[in-house]
């Protein structure tokens, strides 16, 4: 999650600045505690944002899977199979032109979206049922079904 990495990079220099302050140990400790509290709050908000994005993706996948049209339900697998054919042809030098860097980037984005979509598809029933059942009262076993 690049957003989480960005948040960590923002707070790291601030922590080192606190160490360089010419104040008492108590003031530095109080400032560190305030920074940690702010960092925790920012990370919690970032995680909430990431959770909302995943839920939006899951609802999109669910809408596609539940769609009336055959094409609406199957365009992602067809696209990934097309990418697979292009990669195989490119690997054996059977394409007239090699796949460009942009094509490989598109493949990475598509594969990432497909994997996230499939993961979201599997998680969607748990999100719909009520989310976080399985933390307590299950003897340490999650509600994971395969």
Tell me the per-residue pLDDT of 99-127, one tens digit each, with 9 for 90 and over: 888 888 887 877 776 666 666 667 666 66
Residue 129 has pLDDT above 70, yes or no: no
Residue 9 has pLDDT above 70, yes or no: yes
Work out the average pLDDT over 27-37: 87
Same domain assignment for residues 96 and 140? yes
Among the residue ranges 9-13, 32-36, 45-49, 68-72, the one predicted with the least confidence is: 9-13
* Contacts with 47 (C-beta within 8 Å, 6 or more apart), sequence order: 4
Same domain assignment for residues 133 and 70? yes
The reported pLDDT for the residue numbered 77 is 81
Q: Which residues span the domain enclosing 26? A: 1-53
Same domain assignment for residues 48 and 73? no
Axis crossing angle, helix 25-65 with helix 2-19, rounded to the nearest 10: 180
Query: Distance between CA atoms of 120 and 54, rounded to whole angstroms?
Result: 7
- Cα–Cα distances (Å) from 86 to 96, 100, 101, 113, in that order, read 11, 11, 13, 18
The reported pLDDT for the residue numbered 94 is 92
Residue 78 has pLDDT above 80, yes or no: yes
The reported pLDDT for the residue numbered 146 is 40
The reported pLDDT for the residue numbered 89 is 93
Query: Distance between CA atoms of 29 and 76, rounded to whole angstroms?
Result: 52
Mean pLDDT estimate for the chain? 77
User: CB–CB of 23/29 below 8 Å?
Assistant: no
Q: Where are the beta strands (DSSP E) in the chain?
A: none
**Domain membership flag for residue 35:** yes
Query: Distance between CA atoms of 35 and 12, rounded to whole angstroms?
Result: 10
Residue 92 has pLDDT above 90, yes or no: yes
Same domain assignment for residues 70 and 47? no
Work out the average pLDDT over 72-87: 84
Same domain assignment for residues 41 and 110? no
From 119, 117, 139, 127, select the one nearest 60 (Cα to Cα). 117
Q: What angle do CA 15, 17, 23 make, to 5 degrees?
A: 110
The reported pLDDT for the residue numbered 11 is 80
């Amino acid at each position: 999650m690049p957003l989480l990495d960005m948040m960590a990079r923002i707070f790291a220099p601030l922590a080192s600045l606190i160490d360089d302050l010419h104040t008492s140990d108590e003031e530095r400790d109080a400032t560190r505690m305030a920074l940690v509290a702010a960092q925790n709050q920012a990370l919690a908000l970032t995680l909430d944002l990431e959770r909302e994005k995943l839920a939006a993706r899951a609802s999109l996948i669910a809408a596609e899977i539940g769609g009336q049209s055959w094409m609406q339900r199957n365009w992602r697998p067809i696209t990934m199979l097309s990418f697979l054919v292009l990669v195989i042809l490119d690997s054996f030098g059977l394409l007239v032109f090699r796949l460009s860097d942009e094509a490989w980037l598109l493949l990475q984005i598509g594969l990432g979206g497909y994997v996230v979509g499939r993961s979201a598809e599997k998680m969607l029933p748990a999100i719909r049922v009520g989310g976080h059942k399985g933390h307590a009262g299950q003897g340490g076993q999650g509600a994971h079904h395969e």
